[in-house]
Amino acid sequence: MNKVVALLTPLLRFATRSAEVLQRARAPRRSMGASRLPASMRILAALAGLGISAGASAACNKPFKFGVGDPLTGPSATFGIDQVQAIKWAVEDINAAGGINGCKLEVIIVDNQAKPDIAITTTNRFIQVDKVPVIVTAFSNVVKAVAPIVNREKVLLLSVGANSPAIAKMGDYVYTTFPLADVDMNALPPYLIKKHGKKRAAVLYVNHETGIEGSQVFRDAFKASGGEVVLYDSYEENRTDFTGLALKVRSTNPDVIHIQSVVSDFPAIVSQLRQLGITTQVTSFQTAFNTKMIQDLGAASEGIIVTSMAPGVDQNPALVPYLKRWQDQYKRLPNGLPYTQYWYDSAYIVADLFRWVEANKLPATGENMRKALLAIKTFKQPLSGPVTFFENHTVSKATYFWQVKGGKFVMIDKSDL
Amino acid sequence: MLSAPILLQLLWTGLAMSSAYCLFAVAFALVLKVNQVWNFAQPALFIAAYYSMYAAWQGAGLPTWVGLALSLAVTVFLAALLEWYGFRVFRNRRSASLTFFIFTMVVSQLAVSLAELFVGTDARALQSSVMSPIHLVGVVAISEWDLLALATTAVLMLALWLLMSFTRFGKQMTAVADNPELAALYGINVSRCYLHSMMLAALLVMAGAYFIGTKAAIVPSSPLNQFLIFAVIAALIAGIGRVFAAGVAAVALSLFQAFSILVIPSRWQIMLVYILIFVCILLFPQGVRRNPRRLAAVEPAPVSQTSVPQP
Amino acid sequence: MIEYLSVLAAMALINVVLAVSFNLVLGYGGLVSIAHPIFFALGAYASGLLARDLGMPVPLAILAGGAIAMISSFALSVPALRVSGDYMVITSLGFQLALVHIITNVEFTGAAGGLTGIPSAFEGPIRGQLGLFAIAVFAIACVAIVRWLMHGPYGRAVTAMRNDEQALESLGRSPMAIKVMLFAMACGMAGVVGGFYAHHFLYLTPEQFGTFASTALLTMVVVGGAATTWGPVLGAILITLLPEAIRFLDMPISVMAPAQGVMFSVLVLIFMYLRPQGLLGGARAGGGVSSWYGSRAERRVNGGVKP
């Protein structure tokens, strides 16, 4: 946890607010798709849009903008950078296929370091300066911090990847496109007990939204399936020395250790567990589905089981060209691959929302985008499979189980839901 | 849960971990004893040591011993700077302890901010892999890091003790610690002694930084928010002027914290240390000043014999 | 423009109160405490929680926050000062770190994620300006109180205490009582302004109140001039405005925060070396860090040896 940004937080806040106001003073206001063209012009524009077969027209006078807040620097940047790349590619692909009725989809990307206070500043900026109707973001603590703002200002917030079950209750304008922890954390314990014969679980979790609720779900499900939870302990996000925790794990003698972590804490804990000669089975959720983790841990990563909410190459052939794109440009697989699949798809969801709003001749406000979401309900997602938004702000998908074998992730099972 | 193997493992690992804290405590206590300064700038020395090693190894890929030598040079140099252009200036100005305190805290904050600026706020370890080979001795897992840390600390403590007790270098520092004015009268170069003690402290801090960084990653603010308080409390418990007692206190504190894992959740372990501060104050109402007693011991013979002219 | 200026002004005025109250402790009282931001935090969290969870009306919650901060100050000042001023340093550092740790790890404060959903003091389109007005009134009141207090007989007692405790004791005044009351007053002020902050900015995170905040306050007091009335005011305004200046250099977030840390530390160091009396402290005004020269506070750590 970065203890440096202290009194600076409010300074940062009005620093960017000042930018807002100064920009407003300097540049003419840009209205967000609330164009008041005369009907004749609109028909002409629509016809022109229909006539364009390839590429969105640059002459379109209402680019559809949405905001993206994700960590590009800071401890979670390993995931954030790749997520942002995925969504940028998606926006390019959407525009190459004609955009939204011929108009370009535009994404405004801002770094928030996965920190709640920075995210609040950037969200305020999105709303007051860029006037976007939709914001895509991730990380449970960020979502929690900006929820009051988007609810008050009636801007749709799509949480992609954050999995704290509390997100379902964070307000009318907060929706997740990604199954919350009560999906996979209810599926993992029975799987471990039935298929792997585990009986005693030690549960470690990071002390904020990402860890707290998900680990509770795991714990309750493990007990409900007949297992015993021998340890349930948390650690603060910025801790790097886990010797004490590892010793405690060892003293309780579990046969499986489940870690509800963020990004860089997972390899640190596992390496220190292994250092103390603890060879117990380690499990985690999608944040550990990360090839960089295997690199960091080396042999210590063998056998780790993680859950994933996105299909693999065998389930979804559309993944092949996507992975090839990563190999071609970056010579590696993306970090947090399943998350990037959801992030790629989120641009398609946003595009669908804009199309609905346009088709129903409504201004693209947050309120209307939300209406669109509830009206369309089920979205085809190219990479992560179809998703349906329920009334209670949740979505449900199958849980896939992967295990590290021979230095690679191998899918070992699936749990339908 | 409270079986012998577990307790033994806790004891061993707790001891090994305490080695770094012992080094920090002894460094802090040494400066407190000789320079009579609460060196809250010690985190700055840590940061200089740590990130110079990091730059040498992870940045420039230099061999181990080059990195160690470089880091030692940088840290010792910084310590000398602190004393010569910092403490000495304020000492000559007869500044209040408040001034020293503000100065040292701000120097630490400057070091933290500079580190964050150049290296970022992410956690960094000194080596790309912090796994060291382990050997199972009976039921206790002993890693090579443990052995190296304990051995190095023991050697350094022994060397320091020999230095302080038997060499002129060390005895001069002790004299200055007791009474700088008297020491000066005896021809001891007081300023040089102040420099020497700071440089020794730098060596100890650098060793401690090495062990911290080869065990786990840290963020730039850890030295200020985490390690400093340990050193301070150890020095407090031991008493001003008692350097090795501070080391022992640090080990005891570290073990206390390690064993507390059996009864309290890990995230509350650090609170024990904070609570201990308050306990110390309540149990040691006399304060930790032993100087007045020692000063009294070296004071010249009663006034009546020396100042009043004898008939 | 108006919105920008009013947010900036609100922050500056909050910092004014914090600096002025910190100056009471550090500058006038010579008490070596760096835990001041934590009383700001206590007031802010207490006020926010009371208003949000218990439905207390905002003005009452703010006052309650201040009271809680004031009462908490006794937990620090009484044990520490009972012994010596040196203990105060360490105890205040431990106190601050401990409380930040507790806030970060306890559920009802929102833990590391922070406290959200704090009810605003004012509603409506001019809520920013109304909030600013309220804060301004409080800031002016604080400065006036401190000035009146320190320029009167109480102020003289405080100066006497700072310079020679034993002499003061021999006159039948209790230095301990003066120190504890001074500390309580300062922390109460910080707590109340914390409440203002909570209900104006509507979001708190525990990270804001750590050692970095202490450095910022130190900068304000040292640069402005300790132990003067207007020194901290000037220092607070300067330190609030300076980050604005470098913001226009358009640095990425990851660079801006530590750059400000560097700037603050360097400023303090420059002033301590070249102008320890601060901007407004002069030899005659007797303010600044130099106001401790020749004082009892001085003789402690320097080996007790003085010619």
On whether ipTM exceeds 0.95, the answer is: no
Please name which of C37, C40, C44 lies closest in space to residue C61, comparing C-alpha atoms.
C44
pTM above 0.95, yes or no: no
Write down how long chain A is: 417
The C-alpha atoms of residue B119 and residue B148 are separated, in whole angstroms, by 28
Confidence grade of residue C248 (pLDDT, cut at 50, 70, 90): low
In the three-class reduction of DSSP (H, G, I as helix; E, B as strand; rest coil), residue C300 is classed as coil
Question: How close A82 gets to chain C, by Cα (Å)?
Answer: 18
Domain assignment present for A327: no
Judged by average pLDDT, the poorest of A18-27, A266-275, B226-235, C170-179 is A18-27
Which amino acid appears at position B90 of this protein? F
Picking from B221, B204, B77, B198, the residue whose alpha carbon sits closest to that of residue B153 is B204
Q: pLDDT > 70: what percent of chain A?
A: 85
| Lookup result for tokens 């009972």 | C82
Asked whether residue A406 carries a pLDDT value surpassing 70, the answer given is: yes
* pLDDT over 90, % of chain C: 35
In a mutational test of the C interface, the residue from B277, B282, B289 whose CB has the highest number of chain C CBs within 10 Å is B277
**Residue A321 domain-assigned (yes or no):** no
CB contact under 8 A, A251 and B1: yes
- Determine the distance in angstroms separating the CA of B13 from the nearest CA of chain C, rounded to an integer: 25
Residue with tokens 């003091």: C121
Q: Which chains touch B (3 or more CB pairs under 8 A)?
A: A, C
| B167 touching chain C per CB within 8 A | no
Helix ranges (DSSP H) in A299-336: 319-330
Q: Per residue in B269-300, pLDDT tens?
A: 888 888 887 787 777 654 444 444 443 333 34
Is residue B208 less than 8 Å (CB to CB) from chain C? Answer: no
Pairwise CB contact (< 8 Å): A5 & C254: no
Count of alpha carbons within 13 Å of B223, Cβ hemisphere only? 34
Q: Are B107 and B86 in contact (CB under 8 A)?
A: yes
- What is the DSSP-derived secondary structure letter of residue A29? P
Q: What is the pLDDT of residue A48?
A: 40
The answer to whether C7 contacts A18, with C-beta atoms less than 8 Å apart, is yes
Question: Higher-confidence residue: A134 or C215?
Answer: A134
- The answer as to whether A394 is a domain residue is no
Q: For residue C166, what pLDDT is reported?
A: 75
List of chain B residues whose C-beta atoms are within 8 Å of the C-beta of residue A236:
267
Q: What number is the average pLDDT over the span A140-145?
A: 89
Q: Are residues A111 and A163 in the same domain?
A: yes
Structure tokens given for B112:
């933290």
- Cα torsion A198, A203, A205, A209 to 10°: value is 80
Q: Note whether A17 contacts C4, CB cutoff 8 Å.
A: yes
A380 found inside a domain: yes
Q: Which of B113, B121, B230 to mutate to test the interface with A (most CBs of A within 10 A)?
A: B121
In A, which residues are within 8 Å of B216 by CB distance? 240-242, 268, 272
Compute CA distances B68 → B62, B170, B203, B215, whole Å. Answer: 10, 24, 11, 16
Domain count for chain B: 1
Residue A202, domain CATH: 3.40.50.2300
Chains that touch A (3 or more CB pairs under 8 A): B, C
Give the domain range for residue A13.
2-50
In three-state form (DSSP H/G/I as H, E/B as E, the rest C), the secondary structure along chain B is CCCHHHHHHHHHHHHHHHHHHHHHHHHHHHHHHHCCCCCCCHHHHHHHHHHHHHHHHHHCCCCHHHHHHHHHHHHHHHHHHHHHHHHHHHHHCCCCHHHHHHHHHHHHHHHHHHHHHHHCCCCECCCCCCCCCEEEECCEEEEHHHHHHHHHHHHHHHHHHHHHHHCHHHHHHHHHHHCHHHHHHCCCCHHHHHHHHHHHHHHHHHHHHHHHHCCCCECCCHHHHHHHHHHHHHHHHHCCCCHHHHHHHHHHHHHHHHHHCCCCCHHHHHHHHHHHHHHHHHHCCCCCCCHHHHHHHHCCCCHHHHCCCCC
C156: confidence class by pLDDT, cuts 50, 70, 90: confident
Q: In DSSP terms, which residues pair with A137 in a beta bridge?
A: A69, A159
CA dist., res. B137 & res. B14, Å (int)? 16
Which residues of A fall within a CB distance of 8 Å from B214?
none
CATH of the domain at C216: 1.10.3470
Please tell me which residue of chain C has the smallest CA distance to B284. Answer: C83
Contact criterion met (CB < 8 Å) for C211 and A17: no
Q: Which residue has the higher pLDDT, B261 or C190?
A: C190
Nearest-angstrom CA–CA distance, C151 and C139: 18
What single string gives the DSSP state of each residue in C274-286? H-TTTTT--TTTT
Q: How far is B38 from chain C (nearest CA, A)?
A: 8
The per-residue pLDDT for A39 is 39
Q: From the CA atom positions of chain B, what is the Rg in Å?
A: 21
The residue among B118, B176, B274 with the most chain C CBs within 10 A of its CB, best to mutate, is B274
Residue A386 half-sphere exposure, CB side, CA atoms within 13 Å? 6
B-chain CB neighbours of C307 within 8 Å are: 181
Strand partners, A111: A70
Q: How far is B11 from chain A (nearest CA, A)?
A: 10
Cβ-contact C15, C236 below 8 angstroms: yes
Q: Which residue of C has its CA nearest to B99?
A: C289
Q: What is the pLDDT of residue A4?
A: 45
In a domain, C307, yes or no: no
The pLDDT value given to residue A355: 92
Triad A280, A285, A290: Cα angle to 5°: 90
Token digits for B36? 């009579």
Q: For residue C294, what pLDDT is reported?
A: 43
Is residue A198 assigned to a domain? yes
Which among A207, A250, A300 is the nearest to B267, CB-wise? A207
Average pLDDT over every residue of B234-258: 89
Q: pLDDT at position A391, please?
A: 87
Is the separation of the CB atoms in C85 and C32 below 8 Å? yes
Distance in angstroms (rounded) separating the CA atoms of residues A239 and A258? 18
pLDDT tens digits, residue range C87-126? 777 888 889 989 999 998 888 888 777 888 888 888 777 7
Q: How far is B133 from chain C (nearest CA, A)?
A: 34
Residues for chain C: how many in total?
307
Range of the domain at C117: 2-301
Asked whether residue C265 is domain-assigned, the answer is: yes
Q: Is residue C112 part of a domain?
A: yes
CA distance A326 to A332: 6
CB contact (8 A) between residue C105 and residue B268: yes
Optimal mutation site among B228, B281, B291, interface C, most CBs of chain C within 10 A: B281
Could you tell me which chain C residue has the CA closest to the CA of B267? C105
Q: Name residue A307's beta-bridge partners.
A: A401
Beta carbons within 8 Å of A333's beta carbon, 6+ residues apart: A291, A323, A326, A327
Q: Which residues contact B199 (CB under 8 A, 6 or more apart)?
A: B76, B79, B80
C244 CB neighbour count, 10 Å cutoff = 14
Residues A180 and A203: their CA atoms lie apart, in Å, by 18
Residue A68 and residue A42 share a domain = no
Q: Does B160 reside within a domain?
A: yes
Inter-chain residue contact C298 with B120, CB threshold 8 Å: no
Of B100, B102, B229, the CB nearest to C97: B229
pLDDT at C289: 54
Angle among Cα C236, C241, C243 to the nearest 5 degrees reads 110
Q: C297 vs chain B: nearest CA distance in angstroms? A: 6
Q: Please write the tens of the pLDDT for every residue from A65-81.
A: 999 999 988 778 889 99
> In terms of domains, do A284 and A406 share one?
yes
CB pair distance less than 8 Å for B91 and C257? no
pLDDT in tens, A184-239: 999 999 999 999 999 999 999 998 888 888 999 999 999 999 999 999 999 887 77
* Identity of the residue in B17, B120, B216 whose CB atom sits nearest the CB atom of A268: B216
Residue A395 domain-assigned (yes or no): no
Q: What is the mean pLDDT of residues A380-404?
A: 91
- Minimum-distance CB partner of C3 among A9, A15, A21: A21
Q: Is the dihedral of CA C204, C208, C210, C213 positive or negative?
A: negative
The residues, ordered by sequence, that sit 6+ positions from C99 with a Cβ below 8 Å of its Cβ are C35, C38, C41, C42
Nearest Cβ partner of C289 from B99, B224, B274?
Answer: B99
Determine contact, residues B123/A1, Cβ cutoff 8 Å. Answer: no
Rounded CA-CA distance A160/C253 in Å is 23
In a domain, B89, yes or no: yes
Structure tokens at B147: 């052995």
Chain B, residues 134-153, CB within 8 A of chain C, namely none
Domain presence at residue B76: yes
Is residue A229 in some structural domain? yes
B82 lies within 8 A of chain C by CB: no
Specify the number of domains making up chain C: 1
User: Domain range spanning residue B167?
Assistant: 4-127+137-291
Q: Output the pLDDT for position C260.
A: 85
Q: Which candidate in C22, C23, C34, C89 is best for mutational testing of the B interface (most B CBs within 10 A)?
A: C89
| Whole-Å CA distances, A15 to A35, A121, C12, C66, C241 | 31, 9, 13, 28, 10
Tell me which chain B residues have a C-beta less than 8 angstroms from the C-beta of C294. Answer: 94
Measured between beta carbons, which residues in chain B are less than 8 angstroms from residue A202? none
In the predicted structure, residue B305 carries a pLDDT above the cut 80: no
User: Which among B102, B116, B221, B228 is the top mutation candidate for probing chain C, defined by the most C β-carbons within 10 Å of its own β-carbon?
Assistant: B102
Among chain C residues, the shortest Cα distance to A212 is held by C107
Exposed, middle or buried by CB within 10 Å (0-12, 13-18, 19+), for B134? middle
Total count of domains within chain A: 3
How many CB atoms sit inside 10 A of residue B279's CB? Answer: 14
Instruction: Please check whether residue B219 is in contact with residue B121, taking contact to mean a CB–CB distance below 8 angstroms.
Output: yes
Q: Please give the pLDDT value at position A264.
A: 79
Q: Output the pLDDT for position B114.
A: 95
| Beta pairing partners, B19 | none
Q: Do A14 and C117 touch (CB under 8 A)?
A: no
Q: Is residue A392 part of a domain?
A: no
Q: Does B154 touch chain A (CB under 8 A)?
A: no
d(CA A97, CA A89): 12
Tell me if chain A has a CB within 8 Å of the CB of C251. Answer: no
What are A332-352's pLDDT values in tens digits?
889 889 999 999 999 999 999
Sheet of A281-284: strands edge to edge? A228-235, A200-206, A256-260, A281-284, A305-308, A399-405, A408-415
Q: Considering only CB atoms, which chain C residues are within 8 Å of B121?
A: 254, 258
Q: Report phi then psi at B178, rounded to 5.
A: -70, -50
Nearest 5°: phi and psi at C111? 50, -145
Shortest CA distance from B286: residue in chain C: C83
More confident residue, A243 or A238: A243
Residues A346 and A160: beta-carbon distance below 8 Å? yes
- Establish if C94 belongs to a structural domain: yes
- Cβ neighbours, 10 Å, residue A417: 12
Smallest CA-to-CA distance from B49 within B225, B207, B256, B250 is with B207
What's the pLDDT at A59? 52
Same domain for A186 and A277, yes or no, is: yes
Residue C97 lies in a domain: yes
Residue range A80-112, pLDDT digits in tens? 999 999 999 999 999 999 888 888 999 999 988
Distance in angstroms (rounded) separating the CA atoms of residues A288 and A286: 5
A113 contacts in C (CB within 8 Å)?
Answer: 253-254
